[in-house]
Structure 1
């Protein structure tokens, strides 16, 4: 930093402010310091900075699996948002069968990594609800009921499901089935709850729930059991909807003429399904940015509130 200060003709304190992103630097001076940093090949030494500030600028992420599109897209969104704020990531995978003991071990591993705070994703949130949160750990949980121990950031899953089911009912369907996500998933439970409530509000008895595990293969298996009288299917994610479309095609049932299908997530390939999938769009980029913003605010001693993001129904050819 002394070399950068000498090259830029400024004080060491000014260089420190530029490195730490302080707004108290004139733009022309900042540009001069950044040019000197580039010319000298200066890189911040995170370990040395951690000794001085007590912070590593590292965010921990706990996830139960990366096999689902939702989890992998959330991780990517968080990584992008963290990088934009100058934070690194430390990833811990805790399989759901490991339970509360597994997530407690995950918290311990992140503590050993010296993270400043952590984000818990999707299915792993059920584990977090049953585990003790380490004292002093800033924590954001994606998809969870409200809890005083941590900050909750989530999509309004119920609103998205209501929009999907209302769309099918408005099209004249009186036999709307639901292919739900796995037991223990908060997002799946919210989508199932809203499906039931929307059916009840329309005076329609909800049929038995079909259940999958977020994968296309489970969607195929579940949809193969769809009875002949079903004319519409609301699927809790797009991967399962893909499997359901294949099962319906194999059974000789046309979509949407025989069975209308609506998914949830709006994955990148949803518009390329056959037929293109009507689905509920989650803004994963905004969700990741909100989780990182809330966590950094908590790390810095502020008290951020939770975030609830509105999804949007995207109508295509499947319903």
Structure 2
């Protein structure tokens, strides 16, 4: 625990969720992970959570405070409606894990708040691309599910000079912040982090040093942002200007490429040239018809000094946004 939190702090990570598989302790994470002194005394904001491990797949829980995880574990093979009722009563943020894997989330997506769309640094196996397709299917059905990242890193972080063992086989590539889930939090607290995650104020980058993606919409043409990721408004029938911004990251010596997705299909492709940080496009969301927009950014990978091998397996994906929603039934 101390090594993991120390790496997070060294990489500039503000918050962290360590979601141990709950089946290793019979669901009793409250007296294991959550009471570890290095968890309780971490200078990084720690979220309370676990990987909910069931016969119907895996999910992650996130909470700003301790909650009754034991009951959730005991309900793991129960009816979805009773599971969802407990999740709501406890105020748990429940997220569907690795939806395209063999142990994919096999419950109703109506009981979750988010879905893991970027699972680990590795892109070559196609799991991340498949997860994005499933996310688009959920969004097209009218579910405004937040897309998040998760390293799915199963290891103990080796000590300096220690040879990775079977317990740390993923450490050279999958580690803290591969990928990094950025949240627009209203203050520096666990409550604000979970609230942002629930409300879709989220983008995902390849690692903590990669550019952060921001995606806004200017509804009235005054040059100011009126919508951010996670927002839902009624379309007016007028054209909307969308801003795609890359914030921080390394000097932009090569171009970045933006793929704009609307309702699951590519709407347009844009380029952010070296020395620039913004791309702009315009579209007219239809009146009275659901539409969402999200963006993906590819380009030169960014070195993660503490986890250098992640650059070798991460491919060209740099960042992805959460959607801007028009005419969805529930507003954030």
Tell me which interval the TM-score lies in, with the shorter structure as reference length.
under 0.3
Q: TM-score by structure 2 length?
A: 0.24
TM, length-normalised to structure 1: 0.24
As a proportion of its length, which structure holds more strand? Answer: 2
Bigger radius of gyration among the two: 1
Q: Which has the higher helix share?
A: 1
